[in-house]
Amino acid sequence: MNEADCLHSQAEVDACIGRVAEEITAVLHDCNPVVFCVMNGGLIFAGQLLTRLNFPLEQSYLHATRYRNETRGGDLFWKAKPEVSFIDRDVLIVDDILDEGHTLMAIIDFCKHAGARNVHTAVLLDKQHERKADPSFKADFVGIECEDRYVFGYGMDYKGYWRNAAGIYAVKGM
Ligand SMILES: O=P(O)(O)OC[C@H]1O[C@H](OP(=O)(O)OP(=O)(O)O)[C@H](O)[C@@H]1O
Ligand code: HPA
């Protein structure tokens, strides 16, 4: 942490979450959606986002992971599948980061096959690089387009630590 670069301050991230909340509200306010937080990384973004969504919704979580405290992703592993029913419902998936996109695309695929009417996605960060699993895939709601470095804070970890950092930081040299 002492050597990390702060890419986005708490004030900047807070303002972005407010803007994303307005965009989500405009689209989903009368849809009665089920909002799934993708654990663990989505926890802080989802928490700060949800209090700004002033319309009826149900909230739950799912846990799919492929980094497991490493800095390179592997195969996706489902630790917890959704337990709240969302058949014929609008679903909003909330996660911290769209990096290569494997995680979010697999979750969308799962929700669609399980009967969701529409699957919407919100991410705090969309990392900009050429390694996307599908370059045409975009999240519906994006807080910040961030540079191609290994980042932590606001739910994102570096080797399991500093998810609690109140800002977006980049690991020195990564
Ligand atoms: O776009 P991708 O390259 O697939 O990576 C993005 C995913 O990776 C992180 O989760 P992680 O696998 O670290 O699980 P965790 O949040 O439980 O640590 C992050 O929270 C996203 O869910
Ligand atoms: O840059 C990252 N930081 C933390 N977690 C991540 N999961 C995918 N990319 C990242």
ipTM, two decimals: 0.96
Confidence of residue 70 (pLDDT cuts 50, 70, 90): confident
Q: Report pLDDT for 76.
A: 86
Pick the CATH number of 5-66+76-170 from 2.40.30.30, 1.25.40.10, 3.40.50.150, 3.40.50.2020: 3.40.50.2020
Q: pLDDT, tens digit, for every residue of 10-63?
A: 999 999 999 999 999 999 999 999 999 999 999 999 999 999 999 999 999 999
C-alpha of residue 65 to centroid of ligand 1, in Å: 6
- Interatomic CA distance for residues 38 and 82, integer angstroms: 10
Q: Are 151 and 127 in contact (CB under 8 A)?
A: yes
Ligand 2, pocket-test mutation among 156, 157, 171, most atoms within 8 A of CB: 156
How far is ligand 1, taken at its centre, from the CA of residue 116, in Å? 22
**Per-residue pLDDT, 134:** 96
Whole-number pLDDT of residue 75: 85
The bound ligand whose nearest atom lies closest to the alpha carbon of 124 is: 1
Residues 129-165 pLDDT 10s = 999 999 999 999 999 999 999 999 999 999 999 999 9
Closest to 33 measured CA to CA, from 77, 107, 89 = 89
- Ligand whose nearest atom lies closest to the CA of 174: 2
91 strand-pairing partners: 34, 119
pTM over 0.90? The answer is: yes
Domain boundaries, the chain: 5-66+76-170
66 CA from centroid of ligand 1 (Å): 6
